[in-house]
Every structure is written in C-alpha cells, then in structure tokens.
Amino acid sequence: MEQQALNGAVLRKPQIHRIRVSDVFASFAAGWQDFRAYPLFGIFFGSIYALGGLFIAVMLTRYHMPWMIIPVAIGFPLVGPFIAVGLYEISRRRNQGEAITWRGVLAEVFRQRERQMSWMAFVVLFIFWIWIYQVRLLMALFLGFRIPSTLEGFAHVVTQTPEGILFLLVGTIVGAVLATVLFSVTVVSMPLLLEHELDFITAMLTSIRCVIENPIPMLLFGAIVAGAAIGALVPAFLGLLVVLPIAGHATWHLYRKAVTTDP
C-alpha cells in the first residue's frame, strides 16, 4: 500500500469512505454544537470574513466601481475555506478532548504559513481571481459600454434588459462551475492538511476523489453552504458571523466521516 512519512510515523494513503445524505445533516448538527460551545471563537473568525467583505465593498464604492460589489460579494465566499482553518482546529481539539485556548488555536493558524496550506491559499485566491476576471470579461461581452456607475443602476440593467439577463445567466453558470471546482479541491484538502503534514497535491486529489465517490452528499453539502453564505451577505455581511463558523465546523466533521488516515 502506498505510504507517506509523517513526523516519524507512517500514514497510509488517505482512505475515502462512502457517506450518506444523513451524514451531511449530522455534520451541520455537530458544527452547530461546536459553535454553541465556543461562540466567541466562531464570531472572531466570522468577523474577519465579514469585515473583509465590508472593506472591499467600501473600496469599490470609493473608486467608483460599485457595479463590482455584487460579483465580488458572490465570489467572496470562495476564500471561506482558507479563513475557516481556525474553525477546523477548534473542532479537531474538541473532538480529541484537547484544551481550546486562544493562544493554542491562533498559534496553529499561524503555523500553517510554514506548511502546505500556503499553497492551498494560492489555489483559492487564483480561482477567486479567475472569477473576477471572467465577470469583467462577460460584462464587456454582454453589456459593453452600458455598465452603470451605480449599484442600483447595475442591478436594473442585469435584471431588466435582455443583455443583462443573458449576462446573469452565463455568469451564473460559469460561477457555478468555478465554485464546484474550488469546492472539490478544498472541502477535504484543507482539514486534511491541518491534521496531517501531507503535500497539497495529495490533499487536493483526495478531496476530488471524495467528491467523485460521494457526489450527491458532497454537492448537497456545498450547495447548502453556498446558499447560506450568499444569504448571509444580505445584512451587510453580518450573517457571516454565524454562517461561516457553523459551515467551518461542519466541514471538519464531514471530512472526518469521509476520510481516514490512520497510522
């Protein structure tokens, strides 16, 4: 069997298990329990996400690009898995019965800079950049010089004109494909890299295999997270203070159900 060295121990190649739809809902239930047990940690990490979104919205408005707020807001959840590393660590510690302290959790988060997680950050941000680039490209193709200078005007064009509706349709399809790709390469890889010192290529391939072998449960999980995250953007990103922590904790529990790497 293919093996990989890890801190003096030998780990088997990550094993994928079959999961059911019931496991998805069980993971969200466990994620909710983690959030309830340590709400301040969840709100802290969720606030990083919410404040980042607000900052981007303010800067786009300041530089007279309010029409980019909607695409950026929709694409912003793509970086969620990387921000949720601290939440994975809390769930891991709680599951293992380890002490959960601010110093311990934050130290583990910062330690990821020296590990393979930094490569995953590059992958996440690269796909986010592709999302923003393709939005601008589709705007140029479908809207041309009709892009309004206000958020209200942009919303009117994409919902009340044939060109805008076509732009919205094509953009939604392309965005769904990108989101599915990113979800497939990160849903298992990031928790896996947090727990074990594997290379990021192995982690991504494991994540993709997990989605391929469990398509319905995994895509259902991704759809629920995406829908909740987009809905949480409406009240000035404030809904992310709760949605992101629960989703992060739930991701960890789903990973533990779907993958084992026993020595």
Say which residue, 69 or 21, is predicted with more confidence: 21
Which H or E run contains 263? none
Angle at 250 between CA 244 and CA 253, to 5 degrees: 150
9 forms beta bridges with: 6
**Residue 210: what pLDDT?**
95
pLDDT at 175: 82
User: If pLDDT is split at 50, 70 and 90, which confidence band does 11 have?
Assistant: low
Q: pLDDT class for 78, splitting at 50, 70, 90?
A: low
Q: What are the backbone dihedrals phi and psi of residue 15, each rounded to the nearest 5 degrees, phi first? A: -100, 130
Domain extent listing, the chain:
3-260
pTM of the model: 0.81
Predicted confidence (pLDDT) per residue in 92-117, tens digit: 999 999 999 999 998 888 887 777 88
Residue that wins the pLDDT comparison between 64 and 125 = 125
Summarize pLDDT for 187-208 with one digit per residue, the tens: 999 899 988 888 889 999 999 9
- Are 45 and 244 contacting, i.e. CB atoms less than 8 angstroms apart? yes
Q: How is 190-226 classified by DSSP, letter by letter?
A: HHHHHHS---HHHHHHHHHHHHHHSHHHHHHHHHHHH
How many secondary structure helices (H) and strands (E) does the chain include? 13, 4
pLDDT at 7: 41
H or E stretch including 150? none
**What is the rounded CA–CA span in Å between residue 46 and residue 43?**
5
Distance CA(198)–CA(93), nearest Å, equals 19
